Amino acid sequence: MKYYIIAGEASGDMHAANLMKELKRCDPGATFRCWGGDLMEKEGGVIVKHYRDLAFMGFTEVVMNLRTIFRNIDFCKQDIIEHKPDALILIDYPGFNMRIADFAKQEKIKVFYYISPQIWAWKQSRVHKIKRTVDKMFVILPFEKDFYKKFDYEVEFVGHPLLDEIEQIKAGSKTFRKQEISVMLPLMLSVVNDFPDHQFVIAAAPSVANEYLTSISGRKNVNIVSGQTYSLLTHSTAALVTSGTATLETALFGVPEVVCYKGGWISYSIARMLIKVDFISLVNLIMRREVVKELIQHELNTGNLIKELRSIIYDKENIERMKTDFLTLRNELGGSGASVNTAKAICRELSFR
């Protein structure tokens, strides 16, 4: 089969690459044309566009780059027509992928969606478009199956792909944009001098240049390590983590954490009006209660960071409680095997063709 796969972020590149690896097991003749990154390329994918060229974050940045975004959508549609894939596999990245799903359905191409858009958080009306355009949705969070069931749409819970990655690391992210880094990193680093007995390390995403991080940190006593977040987590005592998938990754490694978020005033104000959930971290969302402390907007300041970081470094009772909750969280997510489960299901769906 010919597969066309679209992943618009570093984490999507990782999950897509693992899926491709498993697809080749059940479909040895598989070929892949991709929007993604280096990991997908290593699995044999022909990269049409790299995710580094697709990263627009926040209301303001999206508006400023609308022409580029729509040009990419048009190019993608034309590329799909020219290469006539047997199946389209979409990895998260909803703003782009939902439009491509609609187009592919009109072209009578089988559409699979791996890692659901977080429509349970905001703009839930998108579920109707998903029902109309996506042949099979594979969800990775346990409560998503119940969410879709309310709308009479049957999805398949395959487990969380991070568990696969973590199992591999122990046996042997969402890409952060410059506007987020420039706001939050200086605040996070403002606590360094209050913890002289601890070594601070910046875990950098592969798409962010070390020179840029150095220009912001301005510190010689803070190391920067790129593309090795999981290795760092295995040796970490505690973590200050920006909201997103990284909060879940940190928890699954059993590392006590404080979740940090501070965005532009316009983007944050719009998000507050639209988002319908009580928490911003996946850890708290999945557990349906506050397991990790979230410092958002004005609460993200040096004083609060020092207080909360002390509580996850020195407060043994708090540390044990959090680690126990993390074990419960892992059980909630099911076992490893998300990539295998998804690949097998896709091959089953395509077996009649």
Q: What integer pLDDT is reported at residue 179 of this predicted model?
A: 63
Alpha helical stretches, state H, 276-337? 282-287, 302-313, 316-332
Q: What is each CA distance from 191 to 92, 186, 220, 353, in whole angstroms? A: 34, 9, 15, 59
Q: What integer pLDDT is reported at residue 268 of this predicted model?
A: 66
Distance CA 194, CA 134 (A): 51
C-alpha dihedral sign at 10, 205, 69, 116: positive
* Short-list 246, 264, 263, CA closest to 255: 246
Q: How many CB atoms lie within 10 A of CB 324?
A: 11
Mean pLDDT of successive 10-residue segments in the chain (353 residues)?
94 94 96 96 96 70 76 96 97 93 96 94 89 96 93 95 72 50 88 94 81 77 87 95 88 96 72 70 91 95 98 97 95 87 96 58
- How far out from the chain centre does Cα 4 lie? 20
Helix (H, G, I), strand (E, B) or coil at 150: coil
- How far out from the chain centre does Cα 314 lie? 30
Could you tell me if 152 and 132 are in contact, meaning their C-beta atoms sit under 8 angstroms apart?
Answer: no
b/e code 198-220 from CB counts within 10 Å (16+ = b): eeeebbbbbbbeeeebeebbeee
Alpha carbon distance, N-terminus to C-terminus of the chain: 9
Q: What integer pLDDT is reported at residue 176 of this predicted model?
A: 46
